[in-house]
Structure 1
């Protein structure tokens, strides 16, 4: 057992958070969690944070309570701001570890065990797992071959410096996690998870990767398009650019602007050079969108809204 663990494994408590917003498929997520392999030395509880203005998920949750092997704690946190829902999960968690899973994902029986195994072996403050996209047969071939919707962490100089909440485990006693919250100003645009994990890492938090803690997520028709992918990459770039420029003002931003502009030019040129290869062309075009978003973020342009009204930090 790694000495970084604050308590012995026999008394571990784990909460699993599911933030939901008008998605009936949250029932499939919960049903998959009911089948988790959990040893007798673990105590598991499910937290469902309903982010709709009305408690629209309550009926689904109540109907599943009798089938659940774990207690379910339902929290209604309206205002259509995902950061409010995520923060509610953090505030209501009473466990040693808090896991996040999205309301359109499903977990295999070993998912939680793999996250916890990596947390114990590494003593990391957060553990990320992969998410594999499931495409319909009528999804364009280039999209399926390029697998543009799956989620994996990005390493920088051999370490993971930011993360995501679609598949993660947080050690709640960590000094880099305790008291930390998701930015309300990013709750309608997205990027709140990037902001959270970037600052957690900057505070000394370590992020590990559990390759076998795999979740799956179907890709609906409205997301199976280049336009959706490009908008998402642009928005991700905006958050990245804003974080890069966070402690730089005035002329100190000029080198950052120059480097980002050069990246835009390079990726745009590569998009033209790979015009006859749909996968490589799309990958390059999406990188162009990412860097363009980063440039707008450096200049302080507000992130693209995805839903709801913007909250103040």
Structure 2
């Protein structure tokens, strides 16, 4: 008999009380046929702050759980620790504030097999609290799906991702430590994987739920996120374009920003459309800033010591 397919689920965490709910949802996920699961939790805090949550829920999880302490405050350190620890056929990533649905993993795996993709993305559906602005709920500004460019997915995210560890484009790939405190490390990782010939597919039924924290339910938070996304896109352009091309990209981004802000003013009395165009314009401003060398703001932790991880397996 052939061995079971081993699928590992990685959760990188930093001082989030929601981790227990995330792990409980993973414990209840439907296991794909002829597959075995293993869960890897990478704690990116200086202290082992997630260990208590792991110990409390281990008895409720039928699958093996590996706890990695990989300080500190640099998400790329945690993601790379998961890459180093993984030995299975597939490695999935979800965030520590998300809830996976029962058929999530089965849908990701089915799409991976059908498409022979190196990476498969799933949708992230936001759940808003009662204090979220009406326009944000109506326009569903926090939900996540991949962007198609000429019918193709060229980059993505780690908040709902399955990687084929046997894919040639995956081999030797790492998350950039320079982006581990500002974000965008997942976008760059997947853009590089695609550039190396790795196909990125989308599994529409592989649903993950993200409750939107109150501090994120603001236009200010969304604006900061879009601006940073623009800066990340600029980093990718820097890798593929020479100076004359970068100058053209700045002009192009400036024109797009003007169009977006003009549409924002024209639709001022339609809140969803107004803010959608405004946020798109802010993204293009982020592209300009990135191309001009403006560094991204820090979003994760403090100074990052040399990467290290201490596994604890049960």
Q: Normalising TM by the smaller chain, what interval?
A: over 0.9
Deviations 1:66-103, CA, capped at 9 Å, x for gaps: 11110000000011101111111111001000000110
Counterpart check, 1:219 vs 2:212: yes
CA contact (8 A) 2:32 2:105 kept: no
Provide the C-alpha distance between the structure 2 equivalents of 1:60 and 1:199, rounded to a whole number of angstroms: 34
Instruction: Choose from 270, 273, 291 the match for 1:277.
Output: 270
Provide the C-alpha distance between the structure 2 equivalents of 1:121 and 1:194, rounded to a whole number of angstroms: 24
TM-score of the two chains, using structure 2 as the length reference: 0.94
CA RMSD, 1 decimal: 1.6
Structure 1 residue matching 2:63: 3-state secondary structure? coil
Provide the C-alpha distance between the structure 2 equivalents of 1:234 and 1:9, rounded to a whole number of angstroms: 48
Counterpart check, 1:142 vs 2:142: no
Structure 1 residue matching 2:99: 3-state secondary structure? coil
Aligned to 2:16: 23
Aligned to 2:56: 63
Shift of the 96–219 alpha-carbon distance from structure 1 to 2, 3 Å rule, reads same
Superposition deviation, residue 11 in structure 1: 2.8
Higher-RCO chain (CA-CA 8 Å, sequence separation at least 6): 2
Superposition deviation, residue 62 in structure 1: 0.9
Gaps of 5+ in 2: 308-314
Structure 1 residue matching 2:57: 3-state secondary structure? helix
CA contact (8 A) 2:73 2:303 kept: no
Counterpart check, 1:294 vs 2:287: yes
CA contact (8 A) 1:50 1:75 kept: yes
Work out the number of aligned pairs and report it. 306
CA contact (8 A) 1:187 1:310 kept: no
Instruction: Choose from 60, 66, 86 the match for 1:93.
Output: 86
Aligned to 1:49: 42
TM-score of the two chains, using structure 1 as the length reference: 0.94
Superposition deviation, residue 255 in structure 1: 1.2
Gaps of 5+ in 1: 1-7
Aligned to 1:255: 248
Provide the C-alpha distance between the structure 1 equivalents of 2:290 and 2:32, rounded to a whole number of angstroms: 46
